[in-house]
Amino acid sequence: MSDIPISPLDAWTAGRLDVGRLSREAIEQWQGERLREVVAWVRERSPLYRGLYRDLPEDPVRSIGDAASLPLLEREALRDRGPELVCVSLSDIARVVTVPTTGSTGSPKRLWFTEEDLEITAEHFRHGMRALMEPGGRLLVLMPGKSPGSVGALLQDGLGRDGIDVHAYGFVDDPADVVACLLGFSADTVVGVPGQIVRLARSAAGQRVGRGRIRSVLLSGDHVTPAMREAIEQAWDCKVFEHYGSTESGLGGAVQCRALAGLHVREADLLFEVVDPATGRPLPDGDEGELVMTTLTRRGMPLIRFRTGDLVRMATAPCACGSVLRCVERVIGRKDDVIRLVEGHALSVADLDEAVYGVDGVMAFSAVLDRGTDGDRLTVEVETESSSPPAILAEVESRVRALPAVRGAGLEVIADLQAGSGAQSPAAKQRITDARGAEAPA
């Protein structure tokens, strides 16, 4: 029997389902009932879904097994026809979130939430964070928090019910200022975006935090590679947890427990499927594919079989903690963060993250791909505070050249020092760009 406490989401989910003991049978029955309800809800109230489902039977969902018979909802529909997905009066909307699209063109996506939608996320944060914190803890949130319904505001609301003090600082720009806030607030837990937290932990200011002062770090908003996790653990001697969430999921999606293995899905509210990115065909657990998500309890703007663009793999075995909730084994990255090279090779941001952040002293980096008639060249611009940057650049070049895609495509690799402060944008990710400055095509 495992001595790791069971995921705190299990008890919360059991309460939501009104069952004494949580089981897969109870979860799947609940999900089937909620799916049936939300399909009926959107057909009545959403012009977009009404058109999408026009050829379906009157009652197309009898159980959760019928989910795959419903059409997929493409990301373009959310961007171009978002208002047609809203299922309540605008007077019932508590928050509208605008999410810019990547690249230089394209309209932003907007998502609408009711007060009840936001309350469920606050409760998810409250219970999920119990794996990291105890009453009396102090949490520094390095993500947006000034607006009602933002990540920081929902963490303040939910965790405050457990006697946890929360300060929402915002994204990391100036590491020295963040560290001054962290020490002044006496934070013992930090929530932030992976690349930004690595940069903070490896900065001169971050090293003043000392080892052992921070007990736990929760990384959210992007994929996490082993090298990124190790960089934070070594800098601060803390436990590093992962969370998967997006605006589309209602900010909360899946979170690790103390087993630090898979990410437990909040299955009372979300149904996760994995499909082949090219065909949309459902894939079994254990296969890598695109995450398709259904919001089972959202009423403001439900998303049914929404293609997230995120590449994941679902776990095939139960978590060591004993939870019956399904787990995301690994968040691999985004489809859009993969570029095609010659000879069928593909290079992803996650590949570069693992290689470059594996070099001690690298705080942040960006990469530019120059496509030329004589061959392609990848320039990796590195930010470091090291007194010996040439040695760091040499190791970066060596590690990047060793990547199978880079080696197979015969890419020339150059590592250089990054100009300026190297501070990351609020998007918190330096994407691979081509020489013209546009995102490299997927």
- Per DSSP, helices labelled H in 312-431 are 349-356, 389-401, 404-409
What percent of the chain is modeled with pLDDT above 90? 76
Flag whether 442 is in a domain.
no
> What CATH number does residue 424 fall under?
3.30.300.30
User: For the chain, what is the total number of helices (H) and then of strands (E)?
Assistant: 13, 19
Which residues, 6+ apart, have CB-to-CB distance to 279 below 8 Å? Answer: none
- Give yes or no: residues 373 and 246 share one domain: no
Let me know if residue 37 belongs to a domain: yes
In a domain, 441, yes or no: no
Q: Are residues 93 and 139 in the same domain?
A: yes
85 assigned to some structural domain? yes
Based on the domain organization, do 175 and 203 belong to the same domain?
yes
The residues, ordered by sequence, that sit 6+ positions from 416 with a Cβ below 8 Å of its Cβ are 379, 380, 381, 382, 393
Nearest to 222 by CA among 425, 18, 2, 3: 425
* 165: enclosing H helix or E strand: strand 165-168
HSE-CB for 74 with a 13 A CA cutoff = 8
Q: Are residues 116 and 211 in the same domain?
A: yes
Look at residue 440 and tell me if it is in a domain: no
355 and 315 inside one domain: no
Residues 321 and 361 placed together within one structural domain of the fold? no
The tens digit of pLDDT for each residue in 189-208 reads: 999 999 999 999 999 999 99
Task: Answer yes or no: is 439 within a domain.
Answer: no
Looking at the fold, whether 66 and 175 belong to one and the same domain comes out as yes
Q: Are strands 165-168 and 216-219 parallel, antiparallel or unpaired?
A: unpaired
Q: Are residues 347 and 427 in the same domain?
A: yes
Same domain, 49 and 163: yes
In a domain, 73, yes or no: yes
Whether residue 390 contacts residue 409, with contact meaning beta carbons closer than 8 Å, is answered with: no
Domain CATH code at residue 148: 3.40.50.12780
Residue 210 sits in the same domain as residue 89: yes
Token representation of residue 116: 């009840």
Which domain-ending residue is among 291, 307, 335?
335
Residues 153 and 129 in one domain: yes
**Other CB atoms within 10 Å distance of the CB of residue 398:** 13
The 3-state secondary structure of 275-297, one letter per residue: ECCCCCCECCCCCEEEEEEEECC
Q: How many structural domains compose the chain?
A: 2
Is 176 within the bounds of a domain?
A: yes
Dump pLDDT digits (tens) for 13-57: 999 999 989 999 999 999 999 999 999 999 999 999 999 999 999
For 18, residues 6+ apart whose C-beta sits below 8 A from its C-beta are none
Q: What is the pLDDT of residue 2?
A: 61
Range of the domain at 369: 341-434
Q: What pTM does this model have? A: 0.90
Dist CA 301 CA 117 (whole Å): 9
Per-residue pLDDT tens over the stretch 166-186: 999 999 999 999 999 999 999
Task: Give the Cβ contact number of residue 233 at 10 Å.
Answer: 15
Per-residue confidence of the chain (442 residues) as pLDDT tens digits?
467 889 999 999 999 999 989 999 999 999 999 999 999 999 999 999 999 999 999 889 988 989 999 999 999 999 999 999 999 999 999 999 887 654 434 568 899 999 999 999 999 999 999 999 989 999 999 998 888 889 999 999 999 999 999 999 999 999 999 999 999 999 999 999 999 999 999 999 999 999 999 999 999 999 999 999 999 999 999 999 999 999 999 889 999 999 999 999 999 999 999 999 999 999 999 999 999 999 999 999 999 999 999 999 999 999 999 999 999 999 998 888 888 887 778 888 999 999 999 999 999 999 988 887 777 889 999 999 988 899 999 999 999 999 999 998 888 899 999 764 443 433 333 445 544 333 333 2
Long-range contact set of residues 389-397: C-beta below 8 Å, sequence gap at least 24: 389/417, 392/359, 392/360, 392/361, 392/362, 393/417, 395/359, 396/355, 396/356, 396/359, 396/362, 396/365
Residue 28's Cβ-count burial label (10 Å; 0-12, 13-18, 19+) is middle
Last residue of a domain, one of 279, 301, 335: 335
**Eight-state DSSP code of residue 142:** E
| Shared domain check, 396 and 316 | no
- Last residue in a domain, options 291, 319, 335: 335
Residue-level pLDDT at 107: 67
For residues 354 and 343, the answer to whether their CB atoms sit within 8 Å is: no
